[in-house]
Structure 1
């Protein structure tokens, strides 16, 4: 089963489960929106329609939050899972948000054009490290000057012991929030596709790609929000 197949299988229940499987849901997604919003508001103030590229967009959860925070954005959602994109398109149409969906893998070339923000949530960790670095270079080239990249991501611990601790804490937290054995088993089955990297490595790769003001803006155990700005 491919990554796309694994997520298509849960497209109908994905968003509801996020509230449990991402224990820091509000701060995690909220920080991503806070980081992405300033250049979008600046574009509106300059009389332009802000362009947002959402990589591994899934059901459009992050795109929906961004469009609510900054009304008037135009979204391009990229994902390899058609059922997930169908859910995203339905939700965005229901809210009359300007958007298009592109079925593509994150290792593929990005859609043409320059963007005020490139965002991603819980997707890039499915790529091998070399492919992450290559994607970050493509992202940097796809931003307008002053545009921002923000990645709300599942990350690896900097040591094996910390990585094991991340998993222990995650398991305990999601159990407290109501995840049952079946939901946890299904999540772990999808996690067989995961190839997370550390925050330090990924921030280094963003700087290497040419982004400035690179930082980790939020981190709670295995969940982190980091990114940078095009000079």
Structure 2
């Protein structure tokens, strides 16, 4: 966002704006969510998913619909987002639990029991590099052996040319997604007017702190994850994952 934007942290006004425009701003949003479901669906029961910054519950709804027996714990720092998730997910009853949290704090990372998967969409870029590295280590400890950590997020290009390419591509994505439903450019006009394109409007005091994809893949490896992979990359947005070593591998390593 532009330096004129008064928001130095996420607040409920930004949540309302994202609810209105998020579907236009996220490249291949539906494809990314389907890929995340595919990654989670192969895990054996009991399949407990923890989502960091669950938003309005779109991914949660897809996970719960498509994976029988899956249970879900969603966390978000916005009461408005939690309220929207509660409304969307109410039909799933006891399979769903929602909590308020602060992504930067570490107190919530001491879970009562391990989870099979941790997923997050467009949230971890609010942490700086050190915060991401600590989160990756903490998530590794939350997972059962053989569990998966899936991240869909903005990533920082390595130089100015890459940043311009990402910025131009993101503008084009929003233009196309804005035009698709009814031929209107309202969403694109808002996107440009409010300076939402982080790659075009760099502000060191902004709430967005994307890190290079290469760095994040390396941080996953340093945290202990294996079989690290990139599943999607477009307009500065990436989907990537890492697995916690299966129990048999962990046992072999300790011998």
What is the alpha-carbon root mean square deviation over aligned residues? 2.1
1:120-145 residue CA offsets vs partner (Å, 9 max, x unmatched): 00000011110000000000000001
CA deviations 1:194-221 (Å, max 9, x no partner) are 1101111101001100111111122123
Aligned to 2:150: 150
Q: CA deviation at 1:111?
A: 4.8
TM-score by length of 1: 0.87
Asked if 2 retains the 8 angstrom alpha-carbon contact of 1:210 and 1:230, the reply is: yes
1:3 counterpart = 2:9: yes
The question of whether the paired residues in 1 share the 8 Å contact of 2:64 and 2:92 is answered with no
Moved more, 145-154 or 174-183: 174-183
Tell me, yes or no, if the aligned pair for 1:36 and 1:119 is still in contact at 8 Å. no
Q: Do structure 1's residue 193 and structure 2's residue 201 form an aligned pair?
A: no
Q: Is the 8 A contact 2:76 2:100 kept in 1?
A: yes
Indicate the structure (1 or 2) with the bigger Cα radius of gyration.
Answer: 2
SS at match of 2:82: helix
Q: Which runs of 5+ in 1 are unaligned?
A: none
SS at match of 1:177: helix
Give the C-alpha shift of residue 152 in structure 1: 0.9
Q: Which runs of 4+ in 1 moved over 6 A?
A: none
Return the TM-score normalized by structure 2: 0.80
Alignment correspondent of 1:214: 228
Secondary structure at the counterpart of residue 193 of structure 1: coil
- Please report how far the alpha carbon of residue 14 of structure 1 lies from its aligned counterpart in structure 2 after TM superposition: 3.6
Tell me, in whole angstroms, the C-alpha distance in 2 between the residues paired with 1:100 and 1:37: 19
